[in-house]
Chains A and B, each alone.
Chain A
């Protein structure tokens, strides 16, 4: 069970898809205009990720290495299509809001990335937890960006007014340039935090060869 928890923590924090791995950025930029959309997209991607991780892990010995990418895509696309049907049938408002981004989950690097990096090499149960962790991490980042953009750009949180009526919404934040601005500032803050942590890292004791490393200056050995 410890391993499962470790997978979740890994997905949410250690290897957070948006802020650490910096992949699957298109939905983070595009659909985070409101918290509601962010949660919807995050949950949709998480469901697909859990399903595809599970099936790919089950089939990991059946899928030949040579055709693994097409196999992964077929499995992922099937899950996305089923989800697409379900949302169309049971959550049409959300379906309309997320629009093109539902079918685009198929090519979301997060999902293919986890299939390749984790599910195709690990047992099903752990892969499910990896899916949950990565999915939650993705949802969390979407919600963070969505919250900032919605509050500044529309003065609301989850559709509810949070800033006083006198506040003029800063519309640029909910338009595409605002996505880059918000994300850029967030990344900068997180990098700064990580940088500070690096300095107190005591694990590295041997610095031979550091002078040729491109990270010299960022790393402890400045």
Chain B
């Protein structure tokens, strides 16, 4: 082998080795901050009664449900906070929902990272999300143009698919709550 071949190879090797080392260090340094950022402010916002949250294993095989937390206050269960994914118009909707001891929805937070500003993104606003608060449907929540019955959620104008996706997701989680969490506890 002549010099022309191995000099570039070795130099490139040195560059990649150093880059790899630096990345390792950067990873170690930032990992703590990344973990710390996974804070429970979203959980607290949807289940205000809880003082602390305990992670619960997701039971059953539902890949839409990402994380389940048990809300605890003074050693007693005050409800559940569930992080799940629903289908938006363009991409997933990341939703955190709180369900209190009385089976009522205590709060909801939604992120629609891929949806269009002014349309699907409107679902992130409290005007839409607060509709879910206090609901405890006997059967299923439905989407309506103008909500009249207690089990209806008013769709966002121009973002029917995202609204429906959010409502379907909530129905799925309520079902999971009834069968896996509430049923399993007692």
- The residues of A that contact B9 with a CB separation of less than 8 Å are 67
- List residues of A (106-142) whose CB comes within 8 Å of B's CBs: none
Q: How far is the CB of A137 from chain B (nearest CB, A)?
A: 25
Quick check: A67 and B11 within 8 Å, CB to CB?
yes
Interface of A is mostly: helix
Residues of A within 8 A of B117 (CB): 33-34, 150, 153-154, 174
CB pair A99–B15 under 8 Å, yes or no, is no
Verify A82–B26 contact, CB threshold 8 A. Answer: yes
Stretch at the interface among B30-38, B67-75, B146-154, B165-173: B30-38
Segment from B16-24, B44-52, B78-86, B131-139 that makes contact with A? B16-24
B34, closest chain A residue (CB):
A89
**A contact residues, total (Cβ < 8 Å):** 33
Complex interface: chain B residues within 8 A of A64 (CB): 7-8, 11-12
> B145 to chain A: closest CB distance in Å?
18
A92 is an interface residue with CB less than 8 A from chain B: yes
A34 CA to B175 CA, complexed, in Å:
37
Chain A residues with CB under 8 Å of chain B are: 33-34, 59, 62-64, 66-67, 70-71, 74-75, 77-78, 81-82, 85-86, 88-90, 92, 96-97, 99, 150, 153-155, 169, 171, 174-175
Chain A residues closer than 8 Å to B11, beta-carbon distance: 62-64, 67, 71
CA distance A154 to B121 in the complex (A): 11
Query: In the bound complex, do residue B113 and residue A78 qualify as a contact, i.e. CB atoms below 8 Å apart?
Result: no
A100 to B7, CA, bound (A): 36
B158 within 8 A of A: yes
Chain A neighbourhood of B34, CB < 8 A? 85, 88-89
Interface size on B, residues (CB 8 A): 27
Verify if B111 is at the interface (C-beta below 8 Å from A). yes
A-B contact count (CB 8 A): 75
A75 touches B19 (CB 8 A): yes
Q: Which residues of B contact A (CB under 8 A)?
A: 7-9, 11-12, 15-16, 19, 22-23, 26-27, 30-34, 36-37, 111, 113-114, 116-119, 158
Q: Which of A71, A77, A92 contacts B37 (CB 8 A)?
A: A92
Q: Is the interface of B mostly helix, strand, loop or mixed?
A: helix
B162 to chain A, nearest CB (A): 13
Known: A67-B8, A150-B117. A88 touches B30 (CB 8 A): yes
A153→B118 CA distance, assembly (Å): 7
Bound CA–CA A181/B31 (angstroms): 41
Contact A174-B118, Cβ < 8 Å, known A88-B37, A89-B37: yes
Residue contact B12 to A171, C-beta cutoff 8 Å: no
Contact of A71 among B15, B22, B111 (CB under 8 A): B15
Contact of A67 among B12, B27, B33, B116 (CB under 8 A): B12
Q: Are A78 and B111 in contact (CB under 8 A)?
A: no
Interface residue from A70, A82, A96 paired with B12 (Cβ < 8 Å):
A70
